[in-house]
Amino acid sequence: MAVEQKVRELQHFINGSLVPGTSGKYSNVYNPCTGEVIAHVPLATREEVRDAIEKAKAAFPVWKKQSAGKRAEVVQRFRQLVTENIDELLEVICEESGKTKEDARGEITRGLESVDLAINVAHMTKGEYSVNVGGGINAFSAKYPLGVVAAISPFNFPVMVPLAQTSMAVAVGNSVILKPSEKVPISALYISNLWKEAGLPDGVWTVINGDKEAVDELLENKTVQAISFVGSTPVAEHIYQKGTSFNKRVVALGGGKNFMIVMPNADLEKTANAFLGAAYGAASQRCMAISGAITVGKETADRFVAILKEKVEKLKVGPYTDDTVDFGPVITQQSKDAIIQAINKAVDEGAQLVVDGRNPSISQVSKGFYLGPTLFDHVTPGMEIFEQEVFGPARIVVRVESLQEAIDLINDHELGNGVTIFTNNGAAARKFQEEIEVGMVGVNVPIPIPVGYHNFGGLKRSKFGDGVMFGPDQARFFTKVKTISERWIEEDEETSTTFAFPSNEDAK
């Protein structure tokens, strides 16, 4: 007889401790590989969020006054603890997100790049100093933490995105509140324990679980100084507009429709292999996933689709416990239904269905949220599957006659997160880099996601606000700058009153 798995009752992490929810409202957390409920996560009320914010505010002054070196030591210790517990963390990520262990390990590794950058906080927060700018006055700038800041993270990267959003915010001296996706809260609670073990003072790190009610309190509460968000474009725009209306700094990263241009001179076998991983990895639930190929020339398209069809049909979908699978399920049944609806719509609009992944064989024996890989050819602008981001394994091929036509199609699209070109022609690559209006650009790189010490962010409606995720601009986003003009008056110095606007000329 099968043993029924016990459903875990999750909590918030507030002021250094796990705290039960008091709202009486809960959301189910599923194992996408089995379709089973594995946990109940509490959904915080505004009052619970306000209480968490007040505790974070109380912890801020002490953490702010710690030296940059001391804060870096805590971040370094946190990094060490993540690596020491990586196998356990892998299991947590895989169970609640459904991604393969290989993919989860890659996520943690990329997340640690943001931690590594934050360890260099002393360098990242250095100011500028100018001697004798005029009249014996020295001028300098200094960076200070903002206070209480918040991060709202998505389900598709339960560890990497929260680390990218929060590591620098912690390191520069802020108190940080993380609101993880209610679909994957267990990973956030796990890393909370690591922060505490690393020596982070109570209250500096908070995890508050919740839905729109919790988010609205974070957006409206005057104590919260900045918001970092990653999610869909409609929600990102809402977060940005509402957050800035309450005078907060907001960076809100939205979705992407990321194309791979395939030139006639590209090695089509190697390009197809690159497309597979970039397009279908993690069940295509990545904002930087390749959404489709734009092939230049009929012969290129015919050959590339033929190669792709054979490879896509061999991809294997299944649970993370099977080391032979290429990708796992999508996150929920609702997501699966939405993806099938997008596939059906594409068929109705006349796209050519090359590979149909709506009914994978594993669905006959598992209640997990599985979809096989789907591939469309002859997709054209105006079709919904071209215009809209599909957060699941349904990918497209668009045929054009020239590189310029491909560039124009991409530039005309409202989203501008990532894009790449596969070519052996340097002139084509240079033209592509210069003319494309997309934030993250690759040349023969399937997923052009920057390393942790370069800025991450799209253009157009893929990003709202001037901040970033990853990179040195994180230190600027989570600090405020004071510029000080300083002069010491000699005891025997004569002074006089002047009503002219001060200038260097007057101060000679």
Q: Which residues are annotated as catalytic?
A: 287
Residue with tokens 């003072």: 201
- 268-282 burial, b at 16+ Cβ within 10 Å, e below that, comes to beebbebbbbbbbbb
Strand spans (E) along 339-426:
352-355, 374-377, 394-400, 415-416, 418-422
Is residue 404 helix, strand or coil? helix
How many Cβ atoms are within 10 Å of 419's Cβ, its own excluded?
Answer: 29
Q: CA torsion sign, 405 to 407 to 411 to 415?
A: positive
Distance CA 477, CA 469 (A): 10
Q: Which two tokens stand for residue 87?
A: 């196998």
Q: What does residue 469 show for φ and ψ, rounded to 5 degrees?
A: -120, 135
The pairing of strands 137-145 and 479-486 is antiparallel
Tally of CA atoms within 13 A in the half-sphere of 175 that contains its CB: 27
185 membership: H or E segment, kind and range: helix 185-198
- Provide, for the chain, the percentages of residues in helix, strand and coil under a 3-state DSSP scheme, each rounded to the nearest 5: 40, 25, 40
The arrangement of strands across the sheet holding 148-152 comes to 17-19, 12-14, 205-207, 175-179, 148-152, 224-230, 249-253, 463-464
CA proximity to 462, closest of 288, 241, 318, 307: 288
Residues 88/105, Cβ–Cβ less than 8 Å: no
Alpha helices in 253-402 (DSSP H): 268-280, 298-312, 333-348, 384-387
Sheet holding 26-31, edge to edge: 8-9, 36-42, 26-31
List the beta bridge partners of residue 230.
Answer: 253
Q: How many residues does this entry show for the chain? A: 508
Calpha distance 102→372 (Å, rounded): 19
- SS3 state at 270: helix
Tokens 């009052």 -> residue: 47
- 8-24 as b/e, with b when 16 or more CB fall inside 10 Å? eebbbbbbbeebebebe
Tokens 């982070």 identify what position? Answer: 200
